[in-house]
Amino acid sequence: MATQTHLDRLTELRDKKAEIRLGGGQDKIDKQHAGGKLSARERIDTLLDKNSFQEFSMFAQHRCTYFGMAGKPAPADGVITGVGKIDGRYVHFASQDFTVFGGSAGEIHCDKVVEAMQNSLKTGTPFVFMNDSGGARIQEGIDSLSGYAKVFYANVELSGVVPQISLIMGPCAGGAAYSPALTDFIIQTRQAQMFITGPSVIKQVTGEVVTPEELGGAEAQMHYSGVVHFVADDDEHAVGICKRLLSFLPNNNLEDAPLLPGEYSIGEVPGLNTVIPEDPRSPYDVRDVIKGVVDFADFMEVQETYAENMVVGFGRVAGRSVGIIANQPKVFAGVLDINSSDKAARFIRFCNAFNIPLLTFVDTPGFLPGVSQEQGGIIRHGAKVLFAYSAATVPKVSVILRKAYGGAYVAMCARDLGADRVFAWPTAEIAVMGADGAAEIVFKREIEAAEDRAEARAKFTETYRNTFSTPYVAGSRRMVDDILEPSHTRIAVAQALEVLSAKRELRPAKKHGLMPM
Ligand code: HXC
């Protein structure tokens, strides 16, 4: 055999790389496109800044010899991993290649994912996992399970150190769904499905007939289960959401989110004076308040259609990232219930882990009464909000817009849960309960003895409201720092966040507290 020249070697290398880059072949890539999906490498190109991609372990191969697998090539072993830049900042990532054995995950595939994750950990950079896989590679048997377990373990190691974002862009079934579940945010496309047990297993076990979409489509996993944080129309949209989300986040838990030197103006926002309707029972959209406070009215809502009585998401005030938690009076009057408590608590924990200040807008009549809530464990779930806020050491700024009643007032980051600044609007009603209910109890005898009970009830309700359902009693007790003209809220919040950016709060050392779960 003739000795290879340098040129031969270069040609061989180029050919090998071209072959690997083609994954399972052009026909399978075409099938991917026909299904409205990008290929694994096209997704990476969409994600990263041009020419910033450095690939890891491109030549990796499985070692499986069972079921005809011996010597069967699996380009990049079905997952492309590496590092690159998004808007000039490094991220590590993995992108499963469905054209190679259905993106199934065996020993080496999983090792590659873990290698990329460990590089995230070493360098303090976010990790992005683009999922499109038939799950554990069946031919590799328990080696696949071992591989997945290593991914889960790494997910937990990274948790709270670097942001982890999962994109679900194809099937994500069985135990494989637990890797995304261990990450901070899940973005799912409408083409993808995510479930633990699929429709055929459900039919066998329970007899129920469901479609994959009903079971694990993006809408289902957002609206009913709250597993998903963002629904994307397609792969490009999902990648766009991922990039926008990362723009609000720091690279790791030791850094602050990027401070954007913006062209924003910090001045009065007259529109805020008229957001709250005259009738205290009338609803309004709390997003109108949020948009009046954040820069450029730019608010990135998280879990938009899950537990809609609570609105959470990211914005910036004077260029500084904030995590916003707000009761939504438009949905169930902004009541706190099981799902909204879980939604808020999780979001607060994320922000605290990554040094993102908390900005809370309060308008809630209380916790939702009812047997289903009590039996569902509202005590345990509501306690998560109390725990998350109390444990949070990032700057905490609360703005009480209207109703702030009872335990829900406390839960929404009251002064005594460690809020660094509490502002109230003149419409704020900070009270142990609503004036109607309170008057019924406090003035029960007087109302019963009155000739015109309705008139007496109205009079005593007014008396109670004038005494307690205003921000002035709370102001006199220093539970409120200032009562603001709503139009001044943006200025007050910006000032508070600027000075509080230097906040340091030390707590006693412990292994960890026990957050109610
Ligand atoms: C090996 C797999 C595979 C798998 C798919 N393929 N899943 N190979 N292991 N898990 C292969 C197929 O054989 C096929 O190969 C190619 O990928 C494309 O699959 P299709 O079935 O043709 O595609 P599609 O019709 O789009 O269906 C996709 C699918 C289906 C819904 C994902 O393939 C499927 O149901 N796969 C099995 C899913 C599953 O049961 N996984 C194990 C779950 S257990 P060819 O050569 O024909 O192109 C699990 C446990 C993890 O994940 C536990 C962690 C703790």
Per DSSP, the three-state class of 361 is strand
Asked about 407 being catalytic, the answer comes back as yes
Does the Cβ of 173 fall within 6 Å of ligand 1? yes
Annotated active-site residue 217? The verdict is no
Strands 164-173 and 185-189: parallel
* pLDDT at residue 468 in the model: 79
Residue 175 annotated in active site: yes
Distances (CA, A) of 39 to 117, 122, 236, 405: 22, 29, 11, 52
The DSSP annotation for 377-424 comes to THHHHHHHHHHHHHH--S-EEEEEEEEEEHHHHHHTT-GGGT-SEEEE
What pLDDT, in 10s, does the model give residues 243-297? Answer: 999 999 999 999 999 999 878 899 999 999 999 999 988 999 999 999 999 999 9
Q: Is 32 in the pocket of ligand 1 (CB under 6 A)?
A: no
Name 228's Cβ contacts closer than 8 Å, sequence gap at least 6: 168, 186, 187, 188, 194, 218, 221, 222, 303
Whether 174 is catalytic: yes
Kindly state the helix (H) or strand (E) to which residue 326 belongs, with its residue range.
strand 320-327
Among residues of the chain, what percentage have pLDDT more than 70? 100
Alpha-carbon span 352 to 513, nearest angstrom: 15
Q: How confident is the model at residue 174 (pLDDT cuts 50, 70, 90)?
A: confident
CB-based burial of residue 194 (10 Å sphere; 0-12 exposed, 13-18 middle, 19+ buried)?
A: buried
Taking the centre of ligand 1 as the mean of its atom positions, its distance from the CA of residue 496, in whole angstroms, is 53
In tens, the pLDDT along 389-409 reads: 999 999 999 999 999 999 999
**Domains, the chain, ranges and CATH?**
6-247 (3.90.226.10), 270-428+470-500 (3.90.226.10)
Annotated catalytic residue within 307, 326, 408, 411: 408
CB 215 within 8 A of CB 259: no
CA of 173 to the centre of ligand 1 (A): 9
At residue 16, what are phi and psi to the nearest 5 degrees? Answer: -60, -45
Residue 500 in tokens = 């509080």
Q: What is the model's pLDDT at position 203?
A: 93
* Residue 181 pLDDT > 90: yes
pLDDT of residue 437: 87
Fill in the DSSP letter of residue 136. B
**Per-residue model confidence as pLDDT tens digits over 455-490:** 999 999 998 888 878 899 999 999 999 999 999 999
The stretch 411-421 carries a mean pLDDT of 97
Query: Measured between alpha carbons, how far is 125 from 386 in angstroms, rounded to an integer?
Result: 30
SS3 readout for 16-43: HHHHHHCCCCHHHHHHHHHCCCCCHHHH
- What is the distance between the alpha carbons of residues 480 and 477, in angstroms, rounded to a whole number? 8
CA gap 145, 153 in Å, rounded = 12
Q: Interhelix angle for 107-123 vs 142-158, to 10°?
A: 10
**Top mutation candidate among 104, 109, 204 for ligand 1, by most atoms within 8 Å of CB:** 104
Query: Ligand 1 center to residue 65 CA distance, Å?
Result: 18
> Which ligand 1 atom sits nearest the alpha carbon of residue 28?
48
pLDDT at res. 418: 96
* Burial class of 276 by CB neighbour count within 10 A (0 to 12, 13 to 18, 19+): buried
109 Cα to the center of ligand 1, angstroms? 15
- Ligand 1 pocket check: which of 26, 62, 138 to mutate, most ligand atoms within 8 Å of Cβ? 138
| Token digits of residue 152 | 């889960």
Element (H, E) at 171: strand 164-173
Average pLDDT over residues 304-321: 98
End-to-end CA distance of the chain: 67
The pTM (predicted TM-score) of the whole model is: 0.96
Amino acid 208: pLDDT: 93
- CA–centroid distance for 441 within its chain: 41
Evaluate if residue 111 carries a pLDDT over 80: yes
The answer to whether the CB of 78 is under 6 A from ligand 1 is: no
Identified catalytic residue from 160, 198, 319, 407? 407
Cα–Cα distances (Å) from 453 to 65, 148, 443, 466, in that order, read: 86, 68, 11, 20
Contact in structure between 241 and 47 (CB atoms under 8 Å): no
CA of 219 to the centre of ligand 1 (A): 23
How do residues 122-144 score in pLDDT, each as one tens digit? 999 999 999 999 999 999 999 99
Q: Average pLDDT, whole number, for the chain?
A: 96
Residue with the smallest CA separation from ligand 1 atom 54 is 175
What would the pLDDT profile of 82-93 be if each residue is shown by its tens digit? 999 999 999 999
Q: Does residue 334 line the site of ligand 1, with CB under 6 A?
A: no
Is residue 173 predicted with pLDDT exceeding 90? no
Structure token digits, residue 60? 């990796």
pLDDT of residue 470: 87
What's the mean pLDDT in 165-186? 95
The answer to whether 487 and 268 have CB atoms below 8 angstroms apart is yes
Q: Is the pLDDT of residue 492 over 80?
A: yes
Query: Mean pLDDT throughout 70-92?
Result: 97
User: Can you give the pLDDT at residue 229?
Assistant: 98
* Ligand 1 centre distance from Cα of residue 188 (Å): 19
Average pLDDT estimate for 350-356:
98
Residue-by-residue DSSP string for 60-128: ------TTTTTT---GGGGEEEEEEEETTEEEEEEEE-TTTGGG-B-HHHHHHHHHHHHHHHHHT--EE
Q: Residue 303 — very low, low, confident or very high, per pLDDT cuts 50/70/90? A: very high
Tokens of 443: 């003035």
pLDDT score, position 50: 97
Catalytic residue among 124, 160, 175, 240: 175
Residue 138 CA: which ligand 1 atom is closest? 9
Beta-bridge partners for 310:
327
2 pLDDT band, cuts 50/70/90, is: confident
Q: How far is the CA of 52 from the centre of ligand 1 (A)?
A: 32
**Which of residues 363 and 262 earns the better pLDDT score?**
363
